[in-house]
Amino acid sequence: MAGRRVVIIGAGVVGAALADELSAKGWDDVTVVDQGPVPVTGGSSSHAPGLVFQTNPSKTMTEMARYTVEKFSALGCFLQVGGLEVATTPGRLAELRRRHGWATAWGVEGRLLTPAECVALHSLLDPGRVLGGFFVPTDGLAKAVDAVDIQLRLARERGVRVLERHEVRGIRVEDDRVAAVVTDRGEIPADLVVCCAGIWGPKIADLVGMALPLTPLAHQLAWTGPVPALRGQAEEAVRPILRHQDADLYYRERADRLGIGFYGHRPMPVRPADILPVEAAEVMPSVLPFTAGDFAPAWAETQALLPATREAEIEEGINGLFSFTTDNMPLLGESPQVKGFWVAEAVWVTHSAGVARAMAEWLVDGHCSSFDLHECDVNRFEPHQLAPDYVLTRAAQNFVEVYDIIHPLQPPENLRPLRVSPFHARQRELGACFLEAGGWERPQWYGANAPLLEGRDIPEPDGWAARHWSPIVGAEAQASRESVALYDMSALKRIEVSGPGAVAFLRRLSTGDIGRPVGSVTYCLLLDADGGIRSDITVARLGRDLFQVGANGNLDLDWLHRHLPADGSVVVRDITAGTCCVGVWGPRARDLMEPLAGADFSRDGFGYFRGRRGHVGTVPVTALRLSYIGELGWELYTTADLGAKLWDTLWEEGQSHGIIAGGRGAFSSLRLEKGYRAFGTDMTCEHDPYEAGLGFAVRQAGEDDFIGRAALRERRASVRRRLTCLTIDGSAAVVMGKEPVYDGDTCVGYVTSAAYGHTIGKGIAYAWLPAALSTPGQALRIGYFDRRIAAVVAEEPLYDPAMKRLRG
């Protein structure tokens, strides 16, 4: 494919894989440039131990790892010896059952093992230390340097140029678009530049003014001398790669020696600017001197778990640099400031080929069809998450926690509080238990609501689900359906879209009928070109050329900015920080609002999915008649400086109506009872509206087009899977999400969101299932640790299907 000049910076395992994938798709003007010698360039790929464990809580990361295994196996640079994770504590044993559930849900074959079965697979283990294990036979060892060599050879055969020993010193930009890569040996013209520079990524990105939230951290890898129990072993590896996560350790063989990787030492961050040049490094730039004192606990624990190592010594070791991010996910995508500058960063060998495939599809086709990339998009971050102190602190903490057992609701302990709503002081006075999302402090429940428990029977979940939980959650949920509750919704992204071209702009980007009269509110979707869901949004028309968009995060803002017309007819502005939002919801919401608002808040005077501006007491507000919990009510928006006054006004008036403050725990339960979907959890870019049960949000009339419309016509005709509601009877147990769903002994899908429905008295789980199994009444089972919980497909919504309460 002529006409697109591509320069890939970095010939490590990611850059090499991308060159291979791009050239395989027909792009014939690709140049790979690296400061080091190829294939041992001196970056992380050159010293990577190569262990590939595919199982990950992220479906996307697991699928990328699986593709890497398949590709490297076909190329002959992968030793499929299997991967064994062992437990030495009851907590880890339970965690391995959860990991087995992830693997099963994401389509990776694995099995749980007894202690004897673990020892049979890895004879060096002390049988007295091991409580059980999890084994994936398709895991193994990637030969990273060989992978670089082979993929670059294939790329060269298709015409790709590989320029080694070329140091990148600049990137020439013209009219906010890349024009060339400047090296110490001259310029390389470019229409697209993809930074695959690994630990040097922030340094390269800085050349175009892009802040890349990546921190290189040193990680210890040591090699023993000959281990007598391995004497005579000629093959590189016979036993499975091994993880002992209770002690932050992993192991791999190299003939009669063992490699020992350790994450239990202090974080050792390095500034990209301080990494030595290739010619100045004693070994290679990514290898720092081994600090034996830091490794001492690892060696002691190794000798306890693998007694045969007591007859060996540590012969060599390194502190090798690897890339860490603030959320442990890769950084993929195009710079928001400079067109044509792309990054594929913070990618380890495990996911390298998968990431390269995703990037090649994105660059060539305009979207990625193989993987959902919303967790990896480099533009997902809020501005505070790009602050150097934030990047360093969170990356170092992620290093410490890399093998820790992390609960889905577990909030970070450092850098808090960062973002608080104007209601925060009042929430603290009410005894709020705060969790965190996107930097926001969000109440999960309120201690002041403990008296609501009197006379209520709130089922208690089991140990795992009971973490970050209180029976107050159930009481708040029930009380919200009885009286009126205030829910802090300030963490939702709010975007103002204005200008004479705003209507046409929003109609082009969204599936909704945006052109309705002023005062209308529209629920709709943002789609990719292939019809996949990028986000769900609400669009309120507040004036002829003025709209307020309720979005899901910074990716929505980025998407809007990227599609702005060049004529300046549309202005997009993030107004989140300067505003706040409180949901006033419940059957007595109108009783509360009418005396305060003055305007007509009657059923006929303020209809469902309508919006208007007015006042609550002395506070100017934008009121939208929406409810995320399925009850009568409004979202009230005002400026941040008046937020506390708005809360106080509502709270004082609400005392005679039984007002409460509700937390996120109750909110999650109530939204699932009503069947409301959450983007990023229930549906992602890999799903279309008809599969997700959101076909009603797609406009059919009109000749004007919207992004993804053509693809939807084809997808609508063949819906093979559906987001389906399941209920769980007879137990207070609630699953947490990402569990496998079984029809008999066959895994047929996976859970997305789950909670206990305190109104309906049942557990609720939404799951992706084959369309043939989504019929109400279908009996299924959900894998939950070591149990199979009976569930049944239910008609949705479970609560108020006639919409009488919501529209009342």
Residues forming the active site:
219, 250, 536
Q: Both tokens of residue 488?
A: 């802090």
Token pair 């725990």 is at which residue? Answer: 665
DSSP summary character for residue 773: G
Residue 515's Cβ-count burial label (10 Å; 0-12, 13-18, 19+) is middle
Helix axes 90-105, 59-75, angle to 10 degrees: 70
What residues have CB less than 8 Å from 59, skipping those under 6 apart?
Answer: 105, 106, 372, 738, 750
Q: b/e map of 190-204 (b: 16 or more CB within 10 Å)? A: bbbbbbbbbbbbbbb
> What's the rounded Cα separation, in Å, for the pair 299 and 22?
43
Q: How many Cβ atoms from other residues are within 10 Å of residue 674's Cβ?
A: 22
> What's the rounded Cα separation, in Å, for the pair 116 and 128?
10
Query: Peptide bond preceding 383: is omega within 30 degrees of 0, i.e. cis?
Result: no
Q: Both tokens of residue 780?
A: 């299924």
Which residues make beta-bridge pairs with 757? 762
End-to-end CA distance of the chain: 59
What residues have CB less than 8 Å from 663, skipping those under 6 apart?
Answer: 432, 433, 442, 443, 444, 445, 446, 472, 473, 476
> What's the rounded Cα separation, in Å, for the pair 323 and 217?
6
Contact 510, 613 (CB under 8 A): no
Q: Which of 534, 533, 531 has the alpha carbon at shortest distance from 553?
A: 534
Q: Which of 552, 572, 553 has the alpha carbon at shortest distance from 562?
A: 572
Q: Which of 288, 263, 596, 197 has the alpha carbon at shortest distance from 398?
A: 263
Q: How many whole angstroms from its chain centre is CA 420?
A: 22
Q: Which of 328, 336, 363, 332 has the alpha carbon at shortest distance from 345?
A: 332
Helix (H) or strand (E) holding 664: helix 664-674
Q: Both tokens of residue 675?
A: 């069947």
Q: Hey, which bits of 137-248 come out as E strands? A: 140-142, 161-163, 168-174, 177-183, 186-189, 192-195, 214-224, 241-244
Query: Peptide bond preceding 272: is omega within 30 degrees of 0, i.e. cis?
Result: no
Q: Which of 367, 322, 366, 363 has the alpha carbon at shortest distance from 345?
A: 322
> What's the rounded Cα separation, in Å, for the pair 550 and 536?
9
Contact 553, 437 (CB under 8 A): no
Q: Which of 669, 681, 670, 586 has the alpha carbon at shortest distance from 634?
A: 586
> What's the rounded Cα separation, in Å, for the pair 276 and 230?
37
